[in-house]
Amino acid sequence: MKTAKGRAKAVPRRRAADSTPAQAGTENFLKGAESLADIGRGFYSRGWVLGTSGNFSAVTSRKPLRLAITSTGLDKGSLAAGQFLEIDDKANVVRGDGRPSAEALLHLAIVHGAGAGAVLHTHSVWSTVLSGSHARHGGLALEGYEMLKGLAGVQTHKHREWLPILENSQDMVELADRVTNTLRENPETHGFLLREHGLYTWGESLAEAKRHVEILEFLMEVLVRSGAAQNA
């Protein structure tokens, strides 16, 4: 297009339409489900979520709160994105087919209590053994290991990480309340153990939560292999 004087007139570039909230929510859910499925398969290959054990979630929206979370009873070795559900802040399913893990209330308690962006729960041999042998102490201390520096905010191997140990329960409402109280009493912790059950850890992002699982599982394996379970 030209003006009367013959100069070319700039034509405004058309901007791509912004995503609607619904489209953004769908994209976040699909991205989160795919990443969680990949992490779950990796954890299975390392023996941390055998059988149908373990469950994983990631926040897909803060307002309103939405979580992508594993459906119950799944083999984590063949986990697929299509098997994930999206739940609201009351653990009601708002997307997907199936039923969320009974422990969905624990995930919500951690998201609220720790400000987590992702929550990962494993059932390794190491966490099962140590959570039983150290239960009478109320928790497990990890101290003096270089690997501790992989935890968010930790700058030195001299850091003392305290993992509280909670008695297991099938009453998820009651257990979620205890998780909330535990996080309030231990605001610096990066995880906790359920007695003879497994590890819960989290992070601001899914990548950080995955790293925390790797760090804590490594350190618990070190303790078991070095005889700490027998010396508790």
Whether the pLDDT of residue 102 is over 90: the answer is no
211: number of Cβ within 10 Å: 17
Percent of the chain at pLDDT exceeding 90 = 81
Distances (CA, A) of 105 to 43, 151, 170, 179, 205: 22, 25, 12, 10, 19
Distances (CA, A) of 108 to 15, 34, 66: 38, 20, 10
In terms of Cβ atoms closer than 10 Å to its own Cβ (0-12, 13-18, 19+), residue 63 is exposed
Least confident of 18-27, 108-117, 136-145, 184-193: 18-27
Q: What is the rounded distance in angstroms from the CA atom of residue 204 to the CA atom of residue 20?
A: 25
In terms of Cβ atoms closer than 10 Å to its own Cβ (0-12, 13-18, 19+), residue 166 is buried
Closest C-alpha among 151, 168, 173, 169 to residue 160? 151
Interval 109-134: pLDDT, tens? 999 999 999 999 999 999 999 999 99
The set of residues, in sequence order, having a beta carbon less than 8 Å from that of 10 and lying 6+ positions away, is none
* Confidence tier at 194 by pLDDT (50, 70, 90): very high
* Confidence tier at 136 by pLDDT (50, 70, 90): very high
The set of residues, in sequence order, having a beta carbon less than 8 Å from that of 231 and lying 6+ positions away, is none
Whether the pLDDT of residue 10 is over 90: the answer is no
Whether the pLDDT of residue 25 is over 80: the answer is no
Whether the pLDDT of residue 6 is over 70: the answer is no
- How many alpha carbons lie under 13 Å from residue 179 in its C-beta half-sphere? 29
Length of the chain: 232
Q: What is the rounded distance in angstroms from the CA atom of residue 96 to the CA atom of residue 118?
A: 19
